[in-house]
């Protein structure tokens, strides 16, 4: 049964875009897929979901302008996605996060995550595809998750999946085609050719 906090809290959507894009060689969020940047596809899926608002986590001010999103900067720079989660959790009651390099994500997948999280009463719900967890396609309750995130940052233990053994979790089976992650130029070109 769901905790009353999960049932009543507002959820903020976040496009995660703070990475270096080292394997891509350029800013993944800004790569144009069809008629908009990859980050724009994620933004639009989040904006149509059951969220209060959408922000950009860790991205540049110029990317924020391009995507018409407020930027939430890392409070502890250089610590990867965990730092972005930390910054989001200090500002919002609950967050649903999706990386900018998952452009095929749909509103249905996001809403399924949020609904499962709300009804499960879990601290965090994350998408799975073919049995593998996707810790950065997830919904987090800040009041219970932030202290755990802070402890991990303090000891430089930065693996997001490492948080799960200290939190209640809900794995949500999702369509693998909607969770395609684009990390290299070859993967991007393959995605473009398949459209």
Q: What is the pLDDT of residues 49-76, one digit of tens each?
A: 999 999 999 888 999 999 999 999 999 9
Structure confidence by residue, pLDDT tens digits, 148-192: 999 999 999 999 999 999 999 999 999 999 999 888 878 888 888
Other CB atoms closer than 10 Å to residue 90's CB: what's the count? 13
Domain count, the chain: 1
DSSP state for residue 74 in the 8-state scheme? -
Res 60: pLDDT: 86
Q: Are strands 70-72 and 53-57 parallel, antiparallel or unpaired?
A: parallel
The CATH number of the domain where 86 resides is what? 3.90.550.10
Residue among 100, 92, 98, 121 at smallest CA distance from 174: 98
Contact indicator for 109, 171 with CB cutoff of 8 Å: no
Res 159: pLDDT: 94
Residue among 139, 45, 35 at smallest CA distance from 85: 139
Q: Which domain holds residue 80?
A: 4-194
Structure confidence by residue, pLDDT tens digits, 82-126: 999 999 999 999 999 999 999 999 999 999 999 999 999 999 999
Other CB atoms closer than 10 Å to residue 61's CB: what's the count? 10
Q: What is the pTM of this model?
A: 0.92
Residue among 119, 104, 117 at smallest CA distance from 171: 117
Res 1: pLDDT: 44
Residue among 36, 119, 4 at smallest CA distance from 15: 36
128-152: average pLDDT: 96
DSSP state for residue 62 in the 8-state scheme? H
């Amino acid at each position: 049964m769901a905790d009353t906090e999960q049932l009543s809290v507002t959820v903020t959507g976040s496009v995660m875009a703070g990475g270096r894009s080292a394997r891509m060689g350029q800013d993944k969020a800004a790569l144009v897929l069809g008629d908009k940047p990859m980050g724009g596809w994620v933004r639009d899926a989040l904006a149509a979901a059951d969220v209060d608002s959408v922000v950009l986590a860790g991205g540049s001010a110029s990317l924020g302008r391009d995507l018409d999103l407020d930027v939430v900067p890392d409070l502890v720079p250089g610590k990867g996605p965990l730092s972005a989660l930390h910054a989001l959790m200090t500002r919002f009651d609950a967050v649903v996060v999706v990386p900018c390099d998952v452009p095929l994500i749909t509103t249905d997948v996001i809403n399924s995550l949020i609904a499962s999280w709300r009804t499960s009463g879990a601290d965090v719900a994350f998408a799975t595809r073919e049995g593998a967890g996707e810790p950065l396609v997830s919904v987090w309750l800040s009041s219970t998750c932030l202290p755990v995130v802070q402890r991990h940052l303090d000891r430089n233990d930065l693996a997001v999946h490492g948080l799960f053994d200290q939190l209640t979790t809900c794995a949500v089976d999702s369509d693998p085609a909607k969770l395609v992650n684009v990390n290299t130029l070859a993967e991007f070109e393959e995605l473009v050719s398949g459209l």
